Amino acid sequence: MIEKHISYVIEELLNIMNRRTPRFKTRTSAGRELGEALCEADIDADSVFAIPRGGLPLGRCVADALAVPLDVIVAQKISDPNNPEFAIGAVTADGNVWFNERALDQRDIDQAYIDRTQAMEAENARIKAERYRNGGNRPDLRNKAVVIVDDGIATGATARACIKAVQDDNPKQIVLAVPVGSRRAIDELSADVSDILCLKTPAQFRAVGQHYEQFNQVSDEEALSYLGWLSKEHSRSSIG
C-alpha cells in the first residue's frame, strides 16, 4: 500500500512539473521558434536536413528562415524485440548504423534478429528516402554547413545514425537543431556535431510528444508537401 502511494505521489509531481513546463503548440510553431533562434545565433548554413517524418514541418520553417534548401536524411529505428518502443539502434538509407552498446550489453538479443532487422530497416529507409527525393540523390555535402532538424530528441538513436551518415560526406560543419530533448541525449550528442541548438531540456523527460499540445502523426502525404513546396518554388525561380 505504501509503495503504491509513493508511486502515485511521484506520478502526480511529474504531472505538475509537466504542466508547468511551457509546451509547443504544434511542430510548425516549434519550427518557427527554432528558425528564429538559429537566425539570432547567426548559424551558418548551406542546407537543412530534416529527419522525417516528424522533423519535416520544423525543417520547412527552419529552411525558410535561413533561406536555404530543405532535404531529408532518413533513418529507421532498430527496436528491442521485447519492447518495440525502445530503440537499440538505428540505420540510415545508405546503411550507416548506430547501436546503443550499453543497451545491448544489458539485453540478451539474438544476433540473427539484429542482422535481419538492420537489413530490413535499411531497405525501408532507402525506399522512404527515394520517395521523398522523388528518385533523386542526396546532394554533395563536402565543405558544406549542414543543419539537421528533428521534432525532439529522446534516446537520440535516429539522430546519431543521421549525423554519422552526414559526417561521411565531410561537411564543413554539422549543427543539430531541435526544440526539445532529454539532457542526457543532448549532452551525449554534443560530441558528434559542431554545435547543438536545443530550446528546452526539461529535467523530467519521458517522451517528445509530452512537450507539444498537438502531436499528431505526420502522414507521408503531409511530409511530401513540405518538400513539394520547395520544388515548386525552385521551379518558379528557374523559369523566372
What distance in Å separates the CA atoms of residue 77 and residue 87, rounded to the nearest whole number? 6
Q: What digits encode the pLDDT tens for the residues 73-114?
A: 999 999 999 998 889 999 999 999 999 998 899 999 999 999
Q: Is 167 helix (H, G, I), strand (E, B) or coil?
A: helix
Q: What is the pTM of this model?
A: 0.83
Indicate the burial class of 198 (C-beta count within 10 angstroms; 0-12, 13-18, 19 or more): buried
**Grid coordinates of 47:** 542546407
CA 145 to chain CA mean position, Å? 18
Domain ranges of the chain: 24-74+135-239
Q: Are 72 and 50 in contact (CB under 8 A)?
A: yes
Q: What digits encode the pLDDT tens for the residues 184-228?
A: 999 999 999 999 999 999 988 888 999 999 999 999 889 889 997
Which CATH code fits 24-74+135-239?
3.40.50.2020
How big, in percent rounded to 5, are the helix, strand and coil portions of the chain? 45, 20, 30
